[in-house]
Structures are given as C-alpha cells and as structure tokens.
C-alpha cells in the first residue's frame, strides 16, 4: 500500500534506511546490500531523491556517499512515517509545534554569560541561513550543548549552532563578515540582546 503511495518499493526501502539512520552516510553497493534491490533501481531512486532534496551526496575515498538531509522541509513529517521510533518523533514534533520563541528565551536565560542570542535557520519560518542558533558571550560549553540537545529533541533533527565571543561578534558585524551577514540578511529572531548591539 505505502509502495503505491510513494511510487516504488525501492524508494520506500531507501526512505526507511535513510530516515532511520540520520547522520549516517552510505555508498551505493552498501545500500543495495542493505535493502536487497538492484543497483540500477537504487541509482535511479537516489538521483530522484537528490533532485527532491531529501538526501544529499558527498564523495570521500573515491566513493560517493548518500545521507538524509535533516534540513529538508518535510524531514520531520517523513521521519514520523518511516522512522522506527515513530512515537518519539511524533512526540518531538508535537512539542516542537507548541514551542515558541518565549520557550527558547526561558531556556536561554538559564545559561550564564549570554549577551546575544539569535534563532534562525530551521527554527524561523522563511529563514534561509544554515545557522539555526547563534550565541554570543562567555558561555560554558556544557550549558550550550545541553541547550542544543534539548532543542534537537524538540525539533526532531540536528541543530547547527555557533558560539562567538562578544568581541569577535562585534568585529565581524562591523566588517560585514559573510557569516554574520548571511544570518542578518535572512529571517531571524533576536531573542536576547543585552547590550542592544543590534539596535544601534
């Protein structure tokens, strides 16, 4: 039944493989062994899935590797269908739907040393930057990792984040550094700005 809905048995098997192994790259012959399908069929479906954006490819050691694109727009929805931990993903998705900027502000306020916090990327609808969270200040790494882990659990996917010292951020902002400019030119949400540096 699901084969008919998603176009082919090979595509469904690939979706199960990739969505149950986020962050895990596979090469073609490895994929054909794991899902038990013909290599030509696998190659055709991989090409289709790359065009759609659900997977990405990268070469290493003279092999082409494929893995799920966790930043794909419908990643969470597809994982709720094909992921083996369906209940966990559905709960995560439900929490994510109810999570607001205020919830993140409350979480961030518990982290000492933050002077500026910006949400973007997959956390802000319409944002095109690859960075989801930018934190500025003198912040304990363990606290940051704990916060990111909580956000990843709620969002059901990996979060890209960056931590900068205040001096480095201010310098990069003043010289219109590409990294900072990309975030500021995309949709973003400034949730903490203690020094009002972005309002100057």
What pLDDT does 151 receive? 86
State yes or no: pLDDT of 129 exceeds 70.
Answer: yes
What domains lie within the chain, and their CATH numbers? 2-92 (1.10.10.10), 99-199 (3.30.460)
The Cα–Cα gap between 53 and 36 comes to 23
The model's confidence at residue 92, banded by pLDDT at 50, 70 and 90, is very low
Predicted structure pTM score: 0.63
Report the mean per-residue pLDDT for the chain: 84
Q: How far apart are CA 96 and CA 129, in angstroms?
A: 20
| pLDDT given at position 93 | 39
**CA-based torsion, 112, 118, 120, 123: positive or negative:** positive
Rounded CA-CA distance 160/72 in Å is 14
Residue 74, φ and ψ in degrees, nearest 5: -105, 20
List, for residues 42-88, the tens digit of each pLDDT value. 999 999 999 999 999 998 888 899 999 988 888 878 888 887 654 34
Which pLDDT score is estimated for 125? 81
User: Mind listing the pLDDT tens digit for each residue in 165-187?
Assistant: 999 999 999 999 999 999 999 99
């Amino acid at each position: 039944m699901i084969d008919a809905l998603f176009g082919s048995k090979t595509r469904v098997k690939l979706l199960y493989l990739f969505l149950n192994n986020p962050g895990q790259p596979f090469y073609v012959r490895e994929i054909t062994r794991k899902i038990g399908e013909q290599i030509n069929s696998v190659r055709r479906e991989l090409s289709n899935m790359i065009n759609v954006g659900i997977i990405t490819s990268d070469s290493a050691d003279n092999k082409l590797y494929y893995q799920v694109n966790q930043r794909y727009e419908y990643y969470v929805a597809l994982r709720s269908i094909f992921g083996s931990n369906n209940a966990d993903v559905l709960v995560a998705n439900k929490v994510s739907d109810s999570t607001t900027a205020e919830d993140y502000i409350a979480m961030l306020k518990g982290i000492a040393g933050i002077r500026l916090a910006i949400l973007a990327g997959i956390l802000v609808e319409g944002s095109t930057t690859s960075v989801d969270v930018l934190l500025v200040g003198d912040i304990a790494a363990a606290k940051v990792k704990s916060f990111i882990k909580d956000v990843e659990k709620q969002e059901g996917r990996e979060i890209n984040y960056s931590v900068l010292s205040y001096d480095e951020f201010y310098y990069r902002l003043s010289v219109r550094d590409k990294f900072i400019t990309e975030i500021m030119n995309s949709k973003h949400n400034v949730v903490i700005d203690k020094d009002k540096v972005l309002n100057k």
